[in-house]
């Protein structure tokens, strides 16, 4: 039997603000010293009054605007009542009836094309504290550093149908939030949390909904969906019922497990927060929000394809790694300036796409390899966009060979020296003089009779070997194309 999965997501993202949502305590939920960034307000002491953090409100609206939502002009906060040790007030200040953002969408890329995933709502609320359990299970401690941190919650419509789509949505959302500067959205650090609501059915009717929590990575969210589809299908095949419940995810066993029966919204007894006035957001607020939205990932993909004419894989790497993409654009700017000075006689449309391709290849492959696992920011690099621009132009115009280019880039990375200085000091300039290359070819042919015979017998691999010998004899400075042509001409 083929079943139809129906999947919706609830995603929480901690906002990047200096202070918490309703007080002046520092927003640093990763402080190692427990209960350091707390105050009477976020600890829920009697008689204290919350004051809304405007920056958190703006950043939530920025996310909503970028995700094609309608910003609610009149909204208000409510108390979501439930008791848990990490909720110091006994309730959470949140939004339910009138969320800040509604009716948006985010496009994701699937195997069949672009799919629009509708966003029901985005609202603002305060985060909870953190429970720390002893290894022997005898006691638990509470750290309230995270309590009161501004939290954006996004709820989708049930438009997703697989783990692959869940992963694509979560990754594109995370990337969008990072581009906006709204949240770092690092799931391993708890800055973004994904919860899955899933059911399966034989027809268009919805099945029994199960919620999956405790997901610590986007990959885990995708894997939990695939497992849950199989689990529910097995129950239905055995004519058993799927229980509406909350399930956790066991990372080691790669399976979900039952936690508790799911609460409904009525269980939380929502009512308007009496200590916070309603918000009336006018045109000035919307203008302020729109002014904060820069280039989004989807826009950068389109621009890189049109402006730099790169391939899809290169574009995706440069878009996913925003700092690398920014660095690439700085290199291209310097590269064009250098090329116009040194080679102004060539029309730009003739070779700029090739320059852009060479620059992206060296940045994505060679420079990333040099960086390795070190957390070096591009602003800290000794090698500058100006020097890389010169480097790419010299590679394109064959002033250095491909083998020496690797040596040159490594030295630039380590020392920060200009390419021209290194080329001169290490004698890395490419030899294009026919007489000198012909001399090397004659010597190589005389020294490698077996390879010569093999090439004349039709073994093309021998030609590459002979070219390599010429490169070695010229210390990597010969133009390999010229060397190949001269060898072939000499052996005919």
Q: Enter the tokens of residue 123.
A: 């609202």
Residues 278 and 407 reside in one and the same domain: no
Instruction: Provide long-range contacts, Cβ within 8 A and 24+ apart, for 472-477.
Output: 473/440, 473/443, 473/444, 474/431, 474/436, 474/437, 474/440, 475/427, 476/401, 476/403, 476/404, 476/407, 476/428, 477/401, 477/404, 477/427, 477/428, 477/429, 477/430, 477/431
166 C-beta neighbours (distance < 10 Å), count: 28
Residues 46 and 185 reside in one and the same domain: yes
Question: Which among 235, 267, 291 is the end of a domain?
Answer: 291
Q: Enter the tokens of residue 453.
A: 């015979």
The structure tokens 């948006």 sit at 104
Residue 191 contacts residue 154 (beta carbons within 8 Å):
no
**Rounded to 5 degrees, what are φ and ψ at 220?**
-65, -35
Residues 341 and 386 reside in one and the same domain: yes
Residues 445 and 351 reside in one and the same domain: no
- Specify the pTM: 0.85
Residues 85 and 158 reside in one and the same domain: yes
Residues 73 and 147 reside in one and the same domain: yes
Residues 104 and 173 reside in one and the same domain: yes
Residues 356 and 382 reside in one and the same domain: yes
Question: Which among 426, 449, 481 is the end of a domain?
Answer: 426
Residues 163 and 256 reside in one and the same domain: yes
Residues 134 and 161 reside in one and the same domain: yes
Q: How far apart are CA 491 and CA 482, in angstroms?
A: 14
Q: Would you say how long the chain is, in residues?
A: 492
Provide the β-strand partners of residue 141.
Answer: 132
Residues 256 and 391 reside in one and the same domain: no
**Per residue of the chain (492 residues), what is the pLDDT tens digit?**
789 999 999 999 999 999 999 999 999 978 899 999 999 999 999 999 999 999 999 999 999 999 999 999 999 999 999 888 999 999 999 999 999 999 999 999 998 899 999 999 999 999 999 999 998 989 999 999 999 999 999 999 999 999 999 999 999 999 999 999 999 999 988 899 999 999 999 888 889 999 999 898 999 999 999 999 999 999 999 989 999 999 999 999 999 999 887 656 667 899 999 999 999 999 999 999 999 999 999 999 999 999 999 999 999 999 999 999 999 999 999 998 888 766 655 555 678 899 999 999 999 998 888 887 555 667 778 899 999 999 998 888 878 877 788 888 889 898 888 888 887 777 666 555 556 666 666 776 777 777 777 667 777 777 787 777 767 766 666 667 667 777 777 776
Instruction: Find the domain containing 484 and state its range.
Output: 434-491
pLDDT in tens, 282-320: 999 999 999 999 999 999 999 999 999 999 999 999 999
Residues 412 and 443 reside in one and the same domain: no
Question: Which among 398, 426, 454 is the end of a domain?
Answer: 426
Tell me how many domains the chain contains. 3
Residue 208 contacts residue 200 (beta carbons within 8 Å):
no
CATH of the domain at 476: 1.10.10.410
């Amino acid at each position: 039997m083929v079943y139809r999965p129906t999947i919706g997501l609830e995603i929480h993202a901690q906002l990047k603000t200096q202070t918490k949502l309703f007080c002046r305590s520092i927003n640093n939920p990763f402080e190692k010293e427990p209960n350091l960034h707390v105050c009477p307000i976020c600890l829920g002491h009697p008689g204290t009054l919350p004051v809304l953090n405007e920056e958190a409100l703006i950043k939530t609206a920025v996310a909503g605007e970028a995700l094609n939502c309608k910003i609610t002009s009149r909204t208000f906060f409510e108390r979501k009542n439930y008791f848990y040790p990490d909720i110091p007030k006994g309730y959470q200040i949140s939004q339910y009836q009138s969320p800040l953002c509604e009716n948006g969408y985010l496009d994701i890329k699937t195997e069949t094309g672009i799919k629009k995933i509708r966003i029901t709502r985005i609202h603002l609320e305060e985060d909870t504290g953190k429970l720390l359990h002893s290894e022997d299970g005898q006691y638990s401690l509470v750290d309230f550093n995270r309590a009161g941190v501004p939290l954006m919650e996004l709820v989708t419509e049930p438009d997703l149908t697989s783990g692959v789509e869940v992963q694509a949505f979560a990754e594109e959302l995370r990337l969008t939030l990072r581009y906006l500067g709204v949240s770092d959205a690092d799931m391993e650090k708890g800055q973004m949390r994904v919860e899955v609501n899933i059911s399966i059915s034989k027809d268009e009717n919805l099945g029994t909904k199960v919620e999956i929590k405790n997901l610590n990575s986007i990959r885990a969210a995708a894997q939990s969906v695939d497992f849950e589809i199989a689990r529910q299908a097995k129950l239905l095949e055995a004519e058993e019922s799927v229980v509406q419940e909350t399930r956790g995810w066991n990372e080691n066993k790669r399976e979900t497990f039952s936690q508790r029966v799911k609460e409904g919204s009525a269980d939380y007894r929502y009512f308007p927060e009496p200590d916070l006035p309603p918000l009336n957001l006018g045109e000035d607020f919307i203008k302020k929000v729109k002014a904060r939205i820069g280039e989004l990932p989807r826009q950068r993909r389109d621009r890189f394809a049109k402006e730099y004419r790169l391939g899809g894989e290169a574009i995706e790497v440069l878009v996913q790694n925003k700092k690398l993409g920014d660095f690439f654009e700085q290199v291209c700017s310097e590269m064009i300036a250098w090329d116009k000075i040194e080679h102004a006689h060539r029309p730009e449309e003739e070779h700029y796409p090739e320059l852009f391709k060479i620059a992206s290849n060296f940045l994505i492959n060679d420079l990333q390899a040099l960086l390795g696992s070190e957390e070096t920011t591009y602003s800290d690099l000794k090698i500058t966009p100006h020097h890389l621009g010169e480097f790419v132009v010299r590679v394109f115009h064959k002033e250095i060979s491909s083998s020496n280019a690797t040596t040159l880039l490594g030295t630039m990375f380590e020392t920060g020296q200009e390419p021209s200085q290194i080329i001169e000091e290490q004698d890395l300039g490419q030899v294009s003089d026919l007489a000198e290359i012909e001399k090397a070819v004659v010597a190589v042919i005389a020294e490698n009779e077996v390879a010569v015979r093999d090439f004349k017998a039709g073994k093309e691999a021998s030609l590459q070997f002979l070219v390599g010998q010429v490169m070695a004899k010229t210390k990597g400075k010969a133009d390999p194309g010229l060397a190949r042509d001269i060898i072939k001409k000499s052996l005919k």
